[in-house]
Amino acid sequence: MAATLASKSLVFTVRRQPPELIAPAEPTPHELKLLSDIDDQEGVRFQIPIIQFYRNNPSMGMGGRDPVMVIREAIARTLVFYYPFAGRLREGPARKLMVDCTGEGVMFIEANADVTLDQFGDALQPPFPCLEELLFDVPGSGAILNCPLLLIQVTRMRCGGFIVALRLNHTMSDAAGLVQFMRAVGEMAQGASSLSLHPVWQRELLSARNPPRVTCIHREYDEVPDLNGTIMPLDDMVHDSFFFGPAEISALRKLVPAHLRRCSTFEVLTACIWRYRTIALQANPEEEVRIICIVNARGKFKPPLIPSGYYGNAFAIPVAISTAGKLCQNPLGYALELVMKAKADVTEEYMRSLADLMVIKGRPHFAGVRTYLVSDVTRAGFEEVDFGWGKAVYGGPAKGGVGVIPGVISFYIPFTNKKGERGIIVPFCLPAPVMERFMTQLHSMLNNNTNRLTNVENKTSAFIASAL
């Protein structure tokens, strides 16, 4: 099977072998394992794409070994420990999800691309216009139920480097849990006989109490009617990425009032993007708009709510709410205070109340009307995953706008530009006219607060256009 890919500057061919199933290398238990009540909410019942680019690095000691063969074997050995990934998801009464540990395996694709890593350019960033061929959507494999829970494609490049792309059923793991699994594969690929961190299932730790009782306010799950057709229009959607380096973050911090100067980079960046995205959407000033922040529960509480090695979803999604008019007309400090308060709402009781709400309300989706969600994976460690050829040149989400409702979610991804500046790349997915206005707003704001505006390619526009 071959497909020719083209962008403005890059044309190459990907040849794939037929997909196969990789089962655990040894017999594993055949059992039913319940997901947690955080795992099986409607808002995470989707597939998430991840992509990793690796250089050919002979000095790392892999001695001309084939990355496809090495990783294929390592996956089989890792699945002995992470055997639920080799099963299939079933749905029980009250929409409760569970893993049927059948041992069928994860889906794997071997491929070759007639391209070198250098041809992608110095700045690899999402969205990747070749994603649909580097992570092929095998027909019939992408449903949430009764399908492989992981799809992994390893593509050799002509230069000796390779690409590892995977698609995860999000109900199984969050970013931290997926990276834990990928690191385990990396250890096995490098010859380990056991894992440095053993997986912990224990999904009951984030399941509802008996009887369930909602004790906190969870407005992220409000039922918001779309009376004015204001869910994101899905026609003419475009994907772009913006690099926020030290100069851009410094420019944002100049807008922060003195009493909020201790805010985190995540908080000020989120407040900025929420405000200028809302301006670009030209929302009705009287309508409510929302920003949802993913808050990781790992290590947040003392004693810890979940143990080391837990690889399920362990996050809450608190929401900040404002009318569009107040958000757009007030200084940045207004949005920043709302974001900071939303994050602070997440306590251990909040997590337990959230699990209870899922059972009581039938595992609802978060409110999607006039909502924007941001997920910070700068500390997840995707780029640290090493299969024996060194760390990834790029590692992380393959694009923004994923999820049940397209265009709602963006990721904050660690990134180093060709000048060596460490920063955050943020992929966006918006209708083309909105994206143009959004670009203009960011350009104007940053130009007013710094003497330079940079992107990963150091061009005049802050956005990197994609053919995706």
Paired strand residues for 428: 240
User: Mapping DSSP to helix (H, G, I), strand (E, B) and coil, where does residue 363 land?
Assistant: coil
Query: Which of 40, 174, 356, 386 is labelled catalytic?
Result: 386
Residues belonging to the chain = 468
Query: Which of 39, 170, 174, 376 is labelled catalytic?
Result: 170
| Contact by Cβ (8 Å): 188, 324 | no
| Contact by Cβ (8 Å): 129, 7 | yes
Cβ-Cβ contacts under 8 Å for 414 (sequence gap 6 or more): 377, 378, 383, 396, 422, 423, 424, 425
| Contact by Cβ (8 Å): 105, 23 | yes
Using CA atoms, how far residue 450 sits from 92, 246, 257, 412, in Å, is 55, 11, 17, 22
Which residue carries 């989706």 as its tokens? 365
| Contact by Cβ (8 Å): 212, 94 | no
Paired strand residues for 409: 373
Using CA atoms, how far residue 308 sits from 40, 145, 252, 299, 461, in Å, is 21, 28, 35, 9, 43
386 is catalytic: yes
| Contact by Cβ (8 Å): 63, 386 | no
| Contact by Cβ (8 Å): 240, 464 | yes
User: Mapping DSSP to helix (H, G, I), strand (E, B) and coil, where does residue 107 land?
Assistant: strand
| Tokens coding 152 | 């992994």
* Closest of 292, 287, 291, 290 to residue 323, by C-alpha: 287
Residues known to be catalytic:
170, 386
